[in-house]
Amino acid sequence: MSKRSPPNDSPNQAEPKTLPDWFALDRLVHDATGKWKAPRQLDAVPVAACSQWLLDSGSLTARLKLLSAGVFSVEVVDELWATLPDREFRSRFGPIAPDHPFWSRRVILSGNGEPWVLAHTLIPRHALGGDLGQLIRLGEKPLGEYLFNQVGLTRSDIEIKRIDDQNWGRRSWFFLESKPILVTEYFLSSLLLKSPPPELSARSR
């Protein structure tokens, strides 16, 4: 993994936190493709409440804001440049050189002061030209709120991974102007034990 910052970009590395080992950055950038599966390929099927969270194709940010009655926050763990050593994983972003830098952003999404989701975003540097350059300056603004307000946004199928007995992860690639953005979300048991709010209309996303 490389931690390097091109000129005029300012990585933000927060104070060390107590986070699960599986959310360590070194593990995230080595994430093997085979561990993620389409929902129909899972050996262990999530219970209904979990599935409603994991398989919803709308804005997670909007659902969390609704569930928390607006008491929602984004805490940045770190933001920095990294490379992806795994060739198969890297190829999911298209033909990219092994040393091509990716903008990596880890955050904690909380409702009512309780951590609900750990999220990780990866964006290849070549995708950050023009208007998309603002994605590395989000700070504590939620990425989902930006994405779901963009005309022409498309999304890949959702892939799921069971982390342990209590936590599940999902990931999907978003495309703006044909440029890839990988968003991986790890749903903590503190959220999965809650019933999701009703489905949101397209306008409210």
Q: Is residue 196 within 8 Å of 162, Cβ to Cβ? A: no
Mean pLDDT confidence for 99-113 = 96
Q: What confidence score (pLDDT) does residue 148 get?
A: 93
- Assigned domain for 199 exists: no
| Chain-centre distance for alpha carbon 139 | 15
Q: What confidence score (pLDDT) does residue 51 get?
A: 86
Q: What confidence score (pLDDT) does residue 40 get?
A: 83
Mean pLDDT confidence for 168-176 = 95
- Assigned domain for 76 exists: yes
Could you read off the pLDDT of 107-156 as tens digits, one per residue? 999 999 999 999 999 999 999 988 899 999 999 999 999 999 999 999 99
- Assigned domain for 41 exists: yes
**Does residue 9 surpass a pLDDT of 80?**
no
Mean pLDDT confidence for 161-179 = 92
- Assigned domain for 11 exists: no
- Assigned domain for 200 exists: no
State the residue range of the domain holding 140: 21-192
- Assigned domain for 186 exists: yes
What's the domain count of the chain? 1
Could you read off the pLDDT of 41-98 as tens digits, one per residue? 877 667 777 888 999 999 999 999 999 998 999 999 999 999 999 998 999 999 999 9
For residue 142, what is the domain's CATH number? 3.40.1410.10
- Assigned domain for 93 exists: yes
- Assigned domain for 5 exists: no
Tokens of 110: 């909380």
